[in-house]
Amino acid sequence: MTETTPDDRKGLKAKTRLIHAGRRPSEQFGFVNTPIYRGSTVLFPTLDDLTRRNAKFSYGTQGTPTTEALETAWTELSGAAGTVLVPSGLAAISLALLTAVKAGDHILVTDSAYRPTRIFCDGILARMGVETTYYDPWIGAGIEALIRANTSVIFLEAPGSQSFEMQDVPAIAKVARAKGVCTILDNTWATPIFFPPHERGVDMAIEAGTKYLSGHSDLLLGLVSANAQWLNRLRATFDAFAMCPGPEDVFLALRGLRTLDLRLREAERQGLALATWLAERDEVAVVLHPALPSCPGHALWKRDFLGSSGLFSVILRPCSTAALAAMLDGLKLFGMGFSWGGFESLVIPFDCRVYRTATQWSPPGPALRFSVGLEDIEDLKADLAEGFERLRAVG
């Protein structure tokens, strides 16, 4: 068997590239998977080699064959110039922002962003002298009016982490490029399989590998991919922090990579089926799923995305806190817990009113975010139907 190269794989589908990218069995005595390399010290054969750092790997913080395998695979999948790995999704957000900002800068962040992103901007970046302005996620090319002379970053998330507003990423990226502003996208919901970030004009793309790349709710990992313009600066910032993930987590992510397409497409199918069923329930006022024609962001999703994942939200009709607790506490198949993208289904209540600043969040009733797993869809519906019965019984 002849190993494929990145050039060989350029014409292949993503499903095929996921299987072959980042693997070199010929360098691993024929074993299929890249092994776990644990270590800090790398030995050099001569003084000259040591002095000149003449080695592919010179110290553990700069990478190992394990991390290189995932970095190169993710770079190929996302259409980037390069990728770095960090210990969590939030670490990926922090690293990308720290790569692009300096004291005295101004940045623009979507009002629908993952809340820890806001906490980092309003805390750490504010202490560094970086000012953050939150903007309406629906703004599109109109974001040009918010760009100042010292604006260095536009941070996007499509769709929004809980409220699922869909952003016009290409339009915003075009404006940013013309103004010399770096665009950073949290692409965790879609992954590069359903949204090729750099092809759509984004400079740096963030992925919480904790979610779909892992697929099993048993690791923490973040990835930041960058285009050629930003890669060297990203790598230099990463090297300065030595923000390294554990080798076991990287190994598990590599294993998850091989089945990512299958799991993501099943999550898409399951998510759409449950979202459609929930839209017909009397207890549900609104379903926030970009792939549904009824969702406000559907046209943008249809134009720019290649699919949808299993994460979406619903707004219930008005009910008491006791009724909501009765519904959720008795669920047998939907766990209540943070994160998503694993094999098990999850649900959490949320309320954006406490932190939105550029837009108003005023749903008619409680909001729930669902992460649909790989259980049988009819069993999931039955579990929720019993939950809705308990909700109605309490009122």
**pLDDT band at 220; cut points 50, 70, 90:** very high
HEC per residue, the chain: CCCCCHHHHCCCCHHHHHHHCCCCHHHCCCCCCCCCCCCCECCCCCHHHHHHCCCCCCEHHHCCHHHHHHHHHHHHHHCCCEEEEECCHHHHHHHHHHHHCCCCCEEEEECCCCHHHHHHHHHHHHHCCCEEEEECCCCHHHHHHHCCCCEEEEEEECCCCCCCCCCCHHHHHHHHHHHCCEEEEECCCCHHHHCCCCCCCCCEEEEECCCCCCCCCCCCCEEEEECHHHHHHHHHHHHHHCCCCCHHHHHHHHHHHHCHHHHHHHHHHHHHHHHHHHHCCCCEEEEECCCCCCCCCHHHHHHHCCCCCCEEEEEECCCCHHHHHHHHHCCCCCECCCCCCCCCCEEEEECHHHCCCCCCCCCCCCEEEEECCCCCHHHHHHHHHHHHHHHHHHC
Residue 19 is predicted with a pLDDT of 77
Assess whether 242 and 271 both reside in one domain.
no
State if pTM tops 0.85. yes
Q: Which domain holds residue 84?
A: 6-258
CATH number reported for the structural domain that contains residue 313 in this entry: 3.90.1150.10
Residue 22 is predicted with a pLDDT of 77
pLDDT greater at residue 33 or residue 113: 113
Give tens-digit pLDDT for 116-137.
999 999 999 999 999 999 999 9
Q: Is the pLDDT of residue 26 over 80?
A: no
Which of 224, 258, 292 delimits the end of a domain?
A: 258
CATH number reported for the structural domain that contains residue 101 in this entry: 3.40.640.10
Assess whether 230 and 321 both reside in one domain.
no
Assess whether 171 and 305 both reside in one domain.
no
Question: For the residues 8-31, what does the mean pLDDT come to?
Answer: 77
Q: Is the pLDDT of residue 13 over 90?
A: no
Residue 390 lies in a domain: yes
**pLDDT band at 374; cut points 50, 70, 90:** very high
Give tens-digit pLDDT for 98-107.
999 999 999 9
Residue 253 is predicted with a pLDDT of 97
Residue 176 is predicted with a pLDDT of 98
Mean pLDDT of the chain: 95
Assess whether 192 and 277 both reside in one domain.
no
Assess whether 184 and 306 both reside in one domain.
no
Cis before 159? omega within 30 = yes
**pLDDT band at 1; cut points 50, 70, 90:** low
Question: For the residues 271-285, what does the mean pLDDT come to?
Answer: 98
Lowest mean pLDDT among 29-43, 125-139, 224-238: 29-43
Question: For the residues 178-182, what does the mean pLDDT come to?
Answer: 98
**pLDDT band at 321; cut points 50, 70, 90:** very high
Assess whether 83 and 58 both reside in one domain.
yes
**pLDDT band at 219; cut points 50, 70, 90:** very high
Residue 300 lies in a domain: yes
Q: Is the pLDDT of residue 72 over 90?
A: yes
| Residue closest to 260 by CA, chosen among 193, 325, 310, 208 | 193
Assess whether 66 and 186 both reside in one domain.
yes
Give tens-digit pLDDT for 255-270.
999 999 999 999 999 9
Residue 180 is predicted with a pLDDT of 98
**pLDDT band at 7; cut points 50, 70, 90:** confident
Residue 107 lies in a domain: yes
Question: For the residues 129-154, what does the mean pLDDT come to?
Answer: 98
Which of 242, 258, 274 delimits the end of a domain?
A: 258
Assess whether 44 and 69 both reside in one domain.
yes
Assess whether 223 and 350 both reside in one domain.
no
Assess whether 286 and 212 both reside in one domain.
no
Residue 15 lies in a domain: yes
Assess whether 254 and 270 both reside in one domain.
no
pLDDT greater at residue 62 or residue 317: 317
**pLDDT band at 395; cut points 50, 70, 90:** confident
How much of the chain exceeds pLDDT 90, in percent?
Answer: 88
Residue 314 lies in a domain: yes
**pLDDT band at 9; cut points 50, 70, 90:** confident
Residue 69 lies in a domain: yes
Task: Give, rounded to a whole angstrom, the gap between the first and last alpha carbons of the chain.
Answer: 65
Assess whether 356 and 244 both reside in one domain.
no
Residue 145 lies in a domain: yes
Highest mean pLDDT pick, 34-48, 316-330, 349-363: 316-330
Which of 234, 258, 282 delimits the end of a domain?
A: 258
Residue 1 lies in a domain: no
Residue 5 is predicted with a pLDDT of 80
What domain count does the chain have?
2
Q: Is the pLDDT of residue 12 over 80?
A: no
Q: Is the pLDDT of residue 21 over 80?
A: no
Question: For the residues 41-64, what does the mean pLDDT come to?
Answer: 91
Residue 11 is predicted with a pLDDT of 78
pLDDT greater at residue 358 or residue 161: 358
Residue 127 is predicted with a pLDDT of 98
Q: Is the pLDDT of residue 95 over 90?
A: yes
